[in-house]
A and B are shown apart, each in its own frame.
Chain A
Amino acid sequence: MGELRPDLAIIAAQVPPGVRVLDVGCGDGALLAALRDGKGVDARGLEIDGGNVAAAVARGLSVVQGDADVDLAAYPDRSFDYAVLSQTLQTVRRPDRVLDDLLRIGERAFVSFPNFAHWRTRVSLLWGGRMPVTRLLPEAWYATPNIHHLTIDDFRAFARERGVRIEAAWFLAGTQRLSPAAANFRAEHAVFLLSRNG
């Protein structure tokens, strides 16, 4: 099996063995397979792309083709220990509702996303005056699946407003782990572990 993407490797390391995990936007099931094979996790997935779902099901994973904006409603409350939303928050139509669903379905949620306030993005926009096309955001504005760009500070404020508790956070530049210091400037990716307050 290939190496996990850095944000998925962080999530895989944090998930305890034997729990129930729903990965929303699971791609070809790389994280699910790692959790199933490495930790005996009851791993399920939701993925919008049919080719990805076929690949995941062909490797014996339980993955449903569906849309996070629509199909999360069918999952009962507290039916998973962890819900995962990796690199998907910025692609959905209603990130706020998807996040509500995530914390309704899972006791806790991992959310990872690209940080639009990374210095390279800022430089590109400030000096180039054009929507950034970087290593992190490789598609042009008209072709990008990312329809809700956000920053690490946006996410922190959003969590505060919605009464969502940030239990832990990890920051990445490439494959490099960063300290939280000036993460909103230095980090390309962030991973948050969330739970509902109270």
Chain B
Amino acid sequence: MVALRRMVSDARFGLARQVRLPGPFPLDGGTALDLLEVAYETYGDPAHPAILVCHALTGDHHVASAHPRTGKPGWWQRIVGPGRPIDTERFLIVCANVLGSCMGSSGPASLAPDGRPYAMRFPVITIGDMVRAQAALLDHLGIAQLHAVVGGSMGGMQALQWSAAHPERVAAALVIASSARHSAQNIAFHEVGRQAIMADPNWRGGDYYDGPAPTAGLAVARMAAHITYLSEAGLTEKFGRRLQAREAKTFGFDADFQVESYLRHQGLSFTDRFDANAYLTITRAMDYFDLSEEHGSLGRAFAGSRTRFCLLSFDSDWLYPTAESRAVVHALNAAGAPVSFVELSSPAGHDAFLLPHAEMERIIAGFLG
């Protein structure tokens, strides 16, 4: 009851929070933000050890609560909750919308000091900047030490960045389906998405906030990216060459195939919840990510680290394949850090970390202790 009262009385903790932290907030690119806004949620008792959950490219802080626009359940509701692998009855869970996004944290759609949206005036940011914004939030919440930082995909990059930049604050890092650097192929797919957005006449150099948004370009970007989140076997199993609500091919360019119809739906529904300029900003931050570049070598990034690590990859994930995780594991072994690693089996490709996977859930629970 005492804990419950404290939760209720302290407005810093709870669902759908937002804080404005006074700047200047310096960025890796050399500029600074005058003001840092961070949208976030917390779950559980603030007196418990804290776990920071980091979201992926198009994710948000609604890790275990309904999305305000789509009404869909939280993106990791099966992992975060009472009695779940990340147990809200034993830990304080913090999840923040990343810097550069569009769900309440500072990003291209936020208002600049002149009262107009930043648009393309929003600085190019890095994964390091995202982590510094999270660190500023944790300072605001009075959380000095993290029991663990956990993330999949871009969230895993943040977890790695956290343990390299703030090893003293991170007791354990759980990195799922991720990488310590963006590969040429990763950058290439992102560039396709960015060019699709920029080729949309509605994009207008990013200044579209008082007119129609570049939804066609953003939808194409999402369609291309969505393919990279699935495996070839998964797509074949789900759609094969089946036709969409018709008996025969139409000899036209309508969505004859189910897979086309599915991708179009994925692309369009994405534009309801995401800002095109934020997509440009965050994909750029991911492309710039290379932990070894920053530290000279990957081993040096983790030298002397006392953080416990666990890396998980999926055998059908060709976006961040097992070899990327293994490179991190080898660097951690060389640094003498306690590290666990498993390649999990799943037909679901990169998206597997968001889907039910009993073995992954057991490992998460066991690793977090």
Q: Which residues of B are found within 8 Å of A56, using beta-carbon distances?
A: 340
B308 CB within 8 Å of chain A: yes
The CA of A79 and the CA of B340, in the complex, are separated in Å by 17
Query: What's the Cα separation between A58 and B174 when bound, in Å?
Result: 13
B-side contacts of A79, CB under 8 Å: 336
User: Cβ of B341 and Cβ of A64 under 8 Å apart?
Assistant: yes
**Which residues of A are found within 8 Å of B339, using beta-carbon distances?**
62, 64
Q: Can you report 12 residue pairs joining A to B where beta carbons are below 8 Å apart?
A: A53-B342, A56-B340, A57-B342, A58-B365, A62-B339, A63-B340, A64-B340, A65-B343, A74-B331, A74-B334, A75-B334, A76-B334
Question: Cβ of A58 and Cβ of B330 under 8 Å apart?
Answer: no
Pair B336/A61 contact, Cβ less than 8 Å: no
Bound form: Cα–Cα A58–B360 in Å: 9
Contact assessment for A53 and B340 in the assembled complex, using a CB-CB cutoff below 8 Å: yes
Residues of A with C-beta under 8 A to B308: 62
Q: Would B363 and A58 count as touching, CB distance under 8 A?
A: yes
- Given B331, B338, B345, B362, which contacts A62 in the complex, CB threshold below 8 Å? B338
Task: Give the residue of B331, B334, B367 whose beta carbon is less than 8 angstroms from that of A57.
Answer: B367
A50 contacts the other chain (CB 8 A): yes
Contact indicator per residue, chain B 340-368, by CB within 8 Å of chain A (1) or not (0): 11111100000000000001001101110
Of A42, A50, A58, A71, the residue contacting B366 (CB under 8 A) is A58
The answer to whether B113 has its CB under 8 Å from any CB of chain A is no
| Chain B residues with CB below 8 A from A74, complex form | 329-331, 333-334
Within 8 Å of chain B (Cβ to Cβ): is A44? Answer: yes
Taking the closest CB of chain A, its distance from the CB of B311, in whole angstroms, is 9
Within A66-115, the residues touching B (CB, 8 Å) are: 66, 71, 74-76, 79
Residues on A with beta carbons closer than 8 Å to the beta carbon of B330: 71, 74
Interface size on B, residues (CB 8 A): 24
**Minimum CB–CB distance for B135 against chain A, Å:** 26
The reply to whether the CB of B64 lies closer than 8 angstroms to some CB of chain A is no
Give B contacts to A, CB under 8 Å: 308, 310, 326, 329-331, 333-334, 336, 338-345, 359, 362-363, 365-367, 369
Q: Is the CB of A65 within 8 A of B369?
A: no
Q: Which residues of B contact A64 (CB under 8 A)?
A: 329, 333, 339-341
**How far apart are the CA atoms of A63 and B329 in the complex, in Å?**
11
Minimum CB–CB distance from B31 to chain A (whole Å) comes to: 39
Residue A162 is within 8 A (CB to CB) of chain B in the complex: no
**Complex alpha-carbon distance, A66 and B339, angstroms:** 12
In the bound complex, what is the Cα–Cα distance between A79 and B345 (angstroms)? Answer: 31
Name the residue on B nearest A59 (C-beta): B366
Report the separation of the CA atoms of residues A134 and B112 in the bound assembly, to the nearest whole angstrom: 77
Is A50 a contact of B341 with CB atoms below 8 Å? no
In the bound assembly, the distance between CA atoms of A63 and B345 in angstroms comes to 17
- Closest A residue to B365 by beta carbon equals A58
How many Å lie between the Cα of A61 and that of B342 in the bound state?
A: 12
**Chain B hits for A10, CB < 8 A:** none
Instruction: List the A side residues contacting B331 at CB < 8 Å.
Output: 74
- Chain B CB within 8 A of A137 CB: no
Pick the residue among A58, A59, A60, A65 that contacts B341 (CB under 8 A).
A65
Q: Is the CB of A54 within 8 A of B362?
A: yes
Are B344 and A50 in contact, with the CB atoms below 8 A?
yes
Q: Which residues on B sit within 8 Å (CB–CB) of A65?
A: 341-343
